[in-house]
Structure 1
Amino acid sequence: MSQQPAPGGRRPANGGPRAAARNRAALVAAAREIYAEYGLDAPLSAIARRAGVGQGVLYRHFPERADVATAVLEENVRQVEEAAAAEGATLAGVLGVLTWSLTESAAFISLLHTEGAAGRPGAHAYARAMSERVERALRGRLPDDHPLAGGDDDLMLAVAMVSGAVTGPGREQRERRAVTAWRLLGVEVGPVRPFEG
């Protein structure tokens, strides 16, 4: 969502409370893109610019730098949960959504792993809670005879292994590596895309 400057180079008038939800969604989408391109240390001003809002709007929604990253991670987890809860959902389809999240938010992979959350009070507990939510969503669609149903840690170990393979400068390369990693683990993955309820 990008606001076009009004004549004279000024931004259009604030859209009030109705604009708040649009602005927040634009900021989360912009943060996902900026972090995937430049990593978690990217300037917040770049996120605001990409979203088409001022930095004041960004700070109203996300007072702390970590709040932006948390919002993107929360969106990723919510997508996986919604995909798993959808009528007719399959494990392959849910893994496709998870793989999209890993591919699009490569900079956030460490946040799914507790050890990557150091330096922020409560971050370990938060990262663990996010990881548990992903695991619950996946286990809800995991058939008893699936190769990842064997041990207690097999499922999330596989997710960690795939997330470790998600590297590269472009989204296409990251997606190709993730899908290859799933294939090498003998796991079928559906189309790599966001969940569209």
Structure 2
Amino acid sequence: MNSVRRVNRGPKAAAENRAALLAAAREVFAEHGFDAPMSLIARTAGVGQGSLYRHFSSRDSVILAVFEDNIAVVEELAIRPESTLDDVLDALVEQVTVSTAFIAMVRPIGTDDPRILEVSTRLTELLESKLDSARRDGAFHADVDAGDVVLALAMFAAILIEVDEPTRREVAARAWWMLRRGLRP
């Protein structure tokens, strides 16, 4: 974990501080889970807690920002005309493998936070847009919908939450291979 102390340069450093906080949140959540102290995120980013709370008013807002960044990466890939559902799924699997925040947000259960639900809906819509051609081409079962893919990703994520970091990639590859087989004819 990177805990190099950066010098606070005030409001001029806001964008840099926010980026450092998001990177630190990804790292802290991956290592310690979502219950990790917010102060640990600030320390890891090299900023004070005041800076953390200026950017993110709550734990949920930090988690949401990390998830939003992850979704943005996948959306950038998905809008490319040449990208396929397999490309999008590979990117999602990578995100789930490396980001605990993404794992928890793939299928948010027990939340009524409209911000979280909106980002989750964007993910489902993104998958549905790519599923049409995959089903037409016979690459996926005709009756598989985006909800099924999200469920498979959530099952995949649930497995990875229990796996320690050194073996996560190996388990991820095997688990996703098995789940993907169920989605294909």
Q: TM over 0.5: same fold?
A: yes
State the distance in 1 between where 2:8 and 2:100 align: 35
Matches within 5 A, 1:134-153: 134-142=123-131, 143-144=134-135, 145-147=138-140, 149-152=142-145, 153=147
Matches within 5 A, 1:151-162: 151-152=144-145, 153-162=147-156
State the distance in 2 between where 1:58 and 1:15 align: 12
State the distance in 2 between where 1:26 and 1:40 align: 18
State the distance in 1 between where 2:130 and 2:36 align: 36
Q: Which has the higher contact order (CA 8 A, sep 6+)?
A: 1
The Cα shift of 1:182 comes to: 1.9
How many corresponding residue pairs? 174
2:171 aligns with one of 173, 177, 187: 177
State the distance in 2 between where 1:176 and 1:85 align: 29
Matched, 1:83 2:77: yes
The Cα shift of 1:36 comes to: 0.8
Query: 5+ residue gaps in structure 1?
Result: 6-10, 188-197
Listed one character per residue, the Cα deviations across residues 70-123 of structure 1 (whole Å, up to 9, x for unaligned) are: 111111111211121135222222222211221222255233323243xxxx42
One-letter amino acid matched to 2:124: E
Give the TM-score taking structure 2 as reference length: 0.80
Matches within 5 A, 1:31-110: 31-110=25-104
Cα separation, partners in 2 of 1:183 and 1:4, compared to 1, 3 Å: closer
What is the percent sequence identity of the aligned residues? Answer: 42
Structure 1 segments (4+ residues) deviating >4 Å: 2-5
Query: 5+ residue gaps in structure 2?
Result: none
1:131 aligns with one of 95, 120, 125: 120
